[in-house]
Chains A and B, each alone.
Chain A
Amino acid sequence: MINLKKISCILLVGVLVAASSCKKYLNDNVSKTSINDATQFASTTNADIFLNSIYGYLSNENNVPDQLDNFTDDNDGGYYWRSYHWKAGSVGPSVDNGQPMSDYSGSYQINANDYTAWIAEFGSGSGCYAKVRACNLFLQKIQQYSANFNASWIAQRTDEVRFLRAFFYMQLWQHVGGLVLLTTVEDNNTETKTQLDQARSTFEQTFNFIDSELAAVIANGNLAVKYNNGDPNAGRATLGAALMVKGWAELFAASPAWNSGNSPTGVADPNNLIHFASADPTRWAKAAATFQQFMTNYTQYSLFPNLSQLWYATNKYNSEIIWDRQCVAGIIGSTGDNYEQYGGPVYILGTYYTWGNYCPTQELVDGFRMANGKDITDPTSGYDPQHPYVGREQRFYQSIAYDGAPYFLPWMPKTDTIYTRIDKVHPSLNQIDFAQSDVSNTAYYSIKRLNPVAPPGGSFASGQNYVYFRYAEVLLGYAEAQNEAVGPDATVYAAMNKVRTRSNLPALPAGLTQAQMRTQIHNERRVEFCFENKRWYDIDRWLTASALLNVDRHGMQITNSSPNDDKGVWVYTPVLLNHPHVFNQNMYINPIPNGVIAQNPSVLQNPGY
């Protein structure tokens, strides 16, 4: 009993003692989920961990169900997508649901009413400015802790990050024009709201910043020109990537949408946010020179012989790849690749496999030439509208699954034939669909970039990289810039023919006018880069979107003249898709999301919104 009394006293005393030593008691807890500044930048190994995440911020477009091509005249992904609402003209600063690019963060949103996606491209999580802040922070910290690193490491990593920052800025600049340009880490503890609320730079200043940053990286020469397969550094920024992005930015900037002296949206742009103040045709020459520099100096790059195998995981870092986002199969998380789940034929061998999001329009199909190099509109081309898939150029068969197309990839047990015709006797699951199911509304499926070994399916089955730029773009970029700057000289022909030759097309006929060459180049880009998310930028910068997107696109209805027994002939009739096709002139540029301006009133809205 005495003992029990003692116990109770001990309990009481114990509590009081424990409580009185509470200062230590509370401070004994440490956060085990995070690391501090000094540790993060204690060594090159540690600092590289931070940089790895910046590379991870590269958008993985493979995981985006609503590809940018969906916003063009090439693809009709159908209902439920942002692009569907955008094409219906539902666009505005507080209509966040349909801006092209609004999937760049890699987040996948399929609903119409998403009020966060577009703004997310700017700020939160994986948006442009989150990426930029990480870059600026890295650059600041490796200077602050420079004693922990060797000079060559600092030099190389600095250039990698400057390249990445320029690339992130470029991605956003293409969609909204002049940007708030930040090169240091903003700090609300030391800066006033007025200091934080920076205004947008002009379109030209933004371009100049991107261009000069890339120029500096190239001039520094700290990076490798190219990493080949097997190199442990493969996947990091290279001089090749920097020069390619520089050339593309210059080509984009030189284009009529921004380089005509007029606002592309038709609404005055007094602050020059979305166009150059004045037209300057020499901008084409600048782009041509950059591409020329690439072709001359970076001979490590060349066209890969087989276009359809370019993306295969086994062909990573092949000679054509200039800049790509790394993907690893089967790893849970954002480094995977799920492109196959979203597109390609919906039914394969009678089984549902994909969501059917990549449905080429008749307009795109018509862009492919005959194997003899002639346009199908050329009466001498040999094109038969009732046998439209006969005798077409190689890239057609490499890119498009059409009615009757044999379809085989190594993961399939046997070859399937894709039928999209309306066949009442032998109905096919892939039969053209005029309503809202996943099956194609156009009677075509894109088969480009599909992984041959991974069956379409959940959980990031494929490990193919997402390729931002490949060498064909150097060639066609040069051809376009040079044709605009100088005209169709021999170098333009040479560049064009290189690309065509790879796909077994004959050389271009000599004597084309500048305008004829322009048409050839524009079509070459459409066909060569179809389903690579290039078309949107092209019809945007060429100012052709108003003409192309304001009209309804077509699908191919294939019916039998004797529908009940298939004993007649198959009749090919292009039919209207009856899908929204609004393109207002302001849609050449995205609006600044309402929330961006709400939080920073110094940011001006784009003209036209």
Chain B
Amino acid sequence: MKISVKIAELWRFYTPKKFGSLIQNPLINQIMRICTVSIIVLATSFQLFSATPVKSQTIDQTKVSIQLNNGSLVEAFNKIEAQSSFHFFYNKKDIKGINNLNISEEDQSIADVLKTLLANTSLSFKQVYEQILITNEPKSNVQATGTTKAGEVPIAEFAKISIAGKVTDTKGQPLPGVSVSEKGTSNTVVTDINGNYKISVTDKKSVLVFKYIGYAPQNVDVGNQLFINVTLTEINSDLNEVVVVGYGTQKRASVTGAISDVKGAELAQAPVDNITSSLAGRVSGVISRQTGGGQPGADNATFSIHGINTIGNNSPLIVVDGIVRNNINQIDPNAIESVTILKDAAAVAPYGLGGANGVVLITTKSGKIGAPTLSISDWYGIQHPTYYPATLDAQDYMSLANEAYYNDNANGTVANQPYPQSTINNYTALNAQDPDKYPINNTKGLFNFKAPEQSHNLELTGGTDKIKYYTDLGFFNQQGMLSATTYTRYAYNMSIDAMITNTTRVVFAIKGSYEINTNVDPATSPSTIFRDSYKLIPTNPLEFSNGLAGSSAGLSLLGAIRSNGYADSYTNTTLSTITVEQKLPVKGLSIKGTFSYDPSNSNSKNWHLPFVYYTITNPTATGGPSAYNFASAISTAEGPPAYIYLAQTNSKSQNFTYQGYLNYSGVFGKNAVTGLFVAEARNNTNANMNVQINNYSLATDELSFGSSNKNDYTIGGSSSTGSSVGYVYRVGDIYDSKYIVEASGRYDGSYYFAPGKQYAFFPAFSAGWVMTEEKFLKNVPGLDYLKLRGSWGKSGMLAGGAFQFLNTYTLGSNAYAYGNGTLVQGSSASSQANPNITWEQAIKTNIGFDGNLLKGLINFSVDAYYQSRSGMLVPPTTTVPIEYGIGLQPINAGSMTGRGIEFTLGSQHRFANGLSLGATGNFSYNTNKLTQTFETAQTYNNPNTRRTGRPSGEQFGYEALGLFTEADDKNHDGVINAADGYNVTQFGTIHPGDIKYADLNGDGKIDVNDQVPIGNSNTPLIIFGLNLTASWKGFDVTAFFQGAGESTMGTMTFVTVPFANNNSNAGYQYFNNHWSPSNPNGYYPRADQAPTSNNTQPSNYWTTSGAYVRLKTAQLGYTIPSKITKALKIKMVRFYVSGQNLLTFSALKFLDPEIGNPVSGTSAIGGAGSSPETIYPLQRVITAGLNATF
């Protein structure tokens, strides 16, 4: 607390404005010296602008008009006060009895008016800044304008004392809306937007009470003071933080919507190329999972807010620096200042059609006032897959193949068994003799299990209150498990924020990235290569002893990896914004215009070279590897063409956003009012063209070298445009720092829909009640702050695609050929249009508490929400027969409800010895229920299979009763059927070791009518995070745990189903745990030579919990003591080591639980990219890094 009592301090504080604030800032000279030339030029010119004299108010110049008929002096003073910003200070005694004044002045200076008024009195006046002192001093001593010297104001014994002053925070920033009251009375005023207040108090014994949400209240004895400046100390810094909300910012204390936010620095802890996967668990209410795997440049997580709330697209809207930009991948995590998640209707309503799934607001860093600061941040990491399937070695493969042979061939003979037992037994010796014929393969050796990644970032920032600048350059490079698979990103971010006049602010920001993705030959893919490595039959040569590529059933894994073909893409993205903000002559009113232009250009070049492998042409040769002759061959077994081709694609897009803002904030008594209106228009254009030429004779990767036969050409291209318009409003009032009400919304339109059906209105209302301001909670010990929030509103989502209201035909190429193979174009009727198609609508209700306990030691936030989504696009195909023959565009007929609860609890404490400990945890539980959807009578009428009323994504299948045992085969014929007393028809012939299903309807056959729910959705209902931090004497430790629960995963994969694909290997997960007569307790069904229909049905035999807890990030850092760094003229140096995905606790031992795998996805076993273990593995990363600030 610091109370200024001396005019001297007033004087210093109120430095005449005409000198400009540059002078106030002693740092400016330093900045001027070191800034870049351009900034000097800019700053200089701004200084010139600023030097224009600002009209300072004096009582000589300020004119008033006053009429008094037998009025009192007090009345006169009041009238002058009403017409000017001046305020009178006087001793009641002095002016008592000065009545019957008659005056009529038009447009006279205050000084002149006062001279007239006081002409017949002993009183004199003088201006002390914006105060006019009326004193009894001899007039000669009084200057008409200006101020007296410090300390010279004689304070008389005032009867009614008028006090003025300014309330600021500890950083010197003015605090508007602070309640200032005279203790023991109802006399209260509120500070204006500049933090100034004026209050009249009874006498010098009065005590002023300053109160403001989130700050320690202060009592100040008036005593002899006329000017009381107060600095309030925050009791919890959180509440006063400015948080970014839709189309603006708010103090956390005044937020009534459900939002959560996280600092960029916290997200940047994890060594990732983008923040999609680091959000989950950091902030409540966000579910994110890296379902797509960990391929460099393609490892973004899919994420959703408040669980799954629509059967359609659950992706939230991404907003970067106030502009809707789906550019989360292009933003360097180092350049992120903060991320705010908008969850409830009040928070998302300003986004109208884009808001229903929640909004992610990413704010990038901008300049900060202060000396230029140069920071570097570098890290280097090593990646290792979290899980990698273990496939059988040659001996185990052969044993299992033989076992399956006998299972499937009741009359199998030793002579015909696939592998002689002697080969199996002697395999190691055979390999030693002839590694080409009896290979021992190591497919793991094909992949880099220590692929490096690195990030380097350089940041320069600084500024004055007139101009602030920020520049950032980032480099990120990630190598892959395959050498061809890399991702490189150069990112930059520059912004200049200048007050070009006292009322005009201009912000120019440009950021962008250049991304280079390199990938394997276009005729394959990393997931195909992983798949082929799991498929590789271990007795087939991967690589011959002379280094030539071998093959397995015509697939050459090594041939594909060694191909010099490539699929590379280069993407240039620029996000540019210019903002001009103008304060208007009306107090508190400002306008802002923003224009942004975001062009993006992407080129890809795909060059395929045939996959060459070798075969032995004299397999009967004796004498070992050296005796073999090799011939080359081209692998075409699963589709890669034998010819060379080149495909190039160029796509361009441009996004334009125009925003006009009208902003108001004002204080009326105890009401602090804000208003916002935004008109926004967006439009975009997209165009692409692609060309492919097949059958290159020369292996030169240029289009002009391609075949001249036009049948080898494929040329395509398309373009599109889109636009939308919206009007946003938000009005709010905070009464007495206690009651907060807000209304917001958007009238929004999109080109997606039919003319006349393009616009929608999305209003929301919210309120907050700071309960700790009420008497009954005021003195509860330990309870510093408690706010109750509630909101209700509508938001929307643009589902589906554009133009679904049009009945059209789609043109295609190469439909058919007549005559001598002349190809002709074709066209087909597109899905039947839905002329009434419109947006999805969500109605959200949210109630929450925010609180602080024990002087900020504990802060918490709890939210419970309910939302109903209607108008979900559901395919109405079930409403027409299959014979209808054409797809129907979805219609807005689905609805579902979602409810959930989430909370955040945090604590931070610094002990006297310097040890600082912190813990922040959050937990979200979201459930949903489909209340209306299209389903057939068949599923609806069976209570077991009814989709309506169940959660979206609920998985259905058969109820497995376990495996048939040998005892079930009563007649020992190897087959379980009616002869054994089992009268249920399952799927084909069944044997001991096959899965037994429950015939729930007792009709003697297992069919769709016997299906039941067999698990939750694949998307977890629970997600939680716990961040633990500690620091002591320069050391800091962070451990961040993330977890998920209540999800069901399918377990049918390559490693649990043997020989899942033709010519494929099996996994140890199966091998070590499968049923056989000698291992009757094995879990997995008996071995067959190929998956049987019976054992691959979707059932709860193939499910497991998807719950997991993982140590997502752990970090240990050390900051070199400032004593040492100071000597080196460095502000700060910190070293750290960190790890990502270090530990995982899960029921799944062979698959990363984060990847997910729906049970119904079992049909995809063996499909590249669709079977979970063929997805590029997620990576565990160990990183070492350095942060330094100069």
Contact = CB atoms under 8 A, between A and B. Distances in A.
Contact of B883 (A84, A457, A600): A600
B580 A11 contact: yes
A580 interface: yes
B581 A8 contact: yes
Interface stretch (B381-389, B406-414, B760-768, B776-784): B406-414
Contacts of A575: 416
Interface stretch (A206-214, A349-357, A490-498): A349-357
Could you say which of B662, B720, B939 has the most chain A C-beta atoms within 10 Å of its C-beta? B720
Contacts of B883: 122-123, 129, 180, 182, 186, 198, 596, 600
Nearest to A10: B593
A598 B722 CA distance: 39
A486 interface: no
A352 B553 contact: yes
Contacts of B325: none
B819 A37 contact: no
Contact of A26 (B523, B751, B939): B751
Interface string A78-120: 0110001100111011110110000000000011111100010
Nearest to B555: A352
Contacts of A111: 1091, 1163-1167
A401 B619 CA distance: 22
Given A36-B808, A180-B883, A230-B819, A458 B988 contact: no
A269 B1167 CA distance: 41
Nearest to B821: A328
A601 interface: yes
A35 B938 contact: no
A188 B887 CA distance: 12
A599 B880 contact: yes
Contacts of A193: 879-880
Contact of B1093 (A112, A455, A596): A112
Contact of B641 (A53, A198, A457, A603): A457
Given A53-B826, A113-B1163, A437-B1063, A92 B816 contact: no
Interface string A489-528: 0000000000000000000000000000000000000000
Given A34-B810, A328-B821, A352-B633, A596 B882 contact: yes
Contacts of B591: 8-9, 12
A229 B821 CA distance: 10
B1090 A436 contact: yes
Interface residues of B, number: 143
Contacts of B616: 350
A6 B634 CA distance: 69
B950 to A, nearest CB: 18
B582 A8 contact: yes
Given A31-B802, A53-B816, A426 B826 contact: no
Contact of A92 (B408, B637, B1007): B1007
Contacts of B806: 31, 34, 36
A22 B681 contact: yes
A95 B1007 contact: yes
Interface string A59-95: 0000000000000000000011000110011101111
A233 B819 contact: yes
Given A4-B500, A19-B727, A94-B1007, A331 B884 contact: no
B808 A31 contact: yes
B898 interface: no
B136 interface: no
B725 interface: yes
Interface string B598-617: 00000000000000000111
B817 A90 contact: no
A1 B1093 contact: no
B882 A119 contact: yes
A582 B989 contact: yes
Nearest to A51: B826
Given A8-B581, A50-B826, A434-B405, A123 B810 contact: no
Interface in B509-566: 523, 551, 553-554
Interface in A166-199: 180, 182, 186, 188, 193, 196-198
B1162 A113 contact: yes
Given A111-B1163, A114-B1163, A435-B401, A603 B410 contact: no
A16 interface: yes
Contact of A15 (B410, B679, B1063): B679
B636 A578 contact: no
B724 interface: yes
B749 interface: yes
Interface stretch (A132-140, A151-159, A364-372): A132-140
Contact of B881 (A4, A36, A196, A332): A196
Contact of B814 (A124, A335, A436, A456): A335
Contacts of B821: 316, 326, 328-329, 463
B755 A27 contact: yes
Contact of A328 (B638, B817, B988): B817
B1089 A79 contact: yes
A28 interface: yes
Contacts of B1098: 113
B1092 A438 contact: no
A30 B881 CA distance: 32
Contacts of B418: 433-435
A50 B643 CA distance: 32
A353 B408 CA distance: 27
A35 to B, nearest CB: 5
A594 B594 CA distance: 57
A382 interface: no
A165 to B, nearest CB: 11
A166 B1033 CA distance: 86
Nearest to B580: A8
Interface in B956-979: none
A232 B822 contact: yes
Contacts of B832: 188
Contact of B938 (A10, A576, A598): A598
B881 A133 contact: no
Contacts of B1061: 80
A427 B620 CA distance: 7
B425 interface: no
B938 A5 contact: no
Interface in B803-852: 803, 806-830, 832
A330 B885 contact: no
Contacts of A335: 814-817, 823
Interface in A262-301: none
B721 A28 contact: yes
A26 B723 contact: yes
A55 interface: yes
Interface stretch (B94-102, B440-448, B711-719): B711-719
A335 B824 CA distance: 11
A3 B74 CA distance: 46
Contact of A234 (B554, B758, B818, B885): B818
B1005 interface: yes
A25 B683 contact: yes
A49 interface: yes
Nearest to B635: A352
A331 to B, nearest CB: 6
A26 B791 CA distance: 32
A415 interface: no
B877 interface: yes
A391 interface: no
B880 A113 contact: no
14 contacts: A1-B504, A15-B679, A33-B811, A52-B816, A88-B988, A111-B1163, A111-B1166, A113-B1091, A186-B885, A232-B819, A235-B816, A327-B817, A350-B615, A436-B1059
Given A193-B879, A236-B818, 10 more contacts: A97-B1093, A113-B1096, A123-B883, A188-B880, A232-B822, A330-B694, A341-B636, A425-B620, A426-B620, A436-B1062
Question: What are the 5 A-B residue pairs with the smallest beta carbon separation, nearest first?
Answer: A11-B593, A133-B885, A352-B554, A457-B636, A34-B808
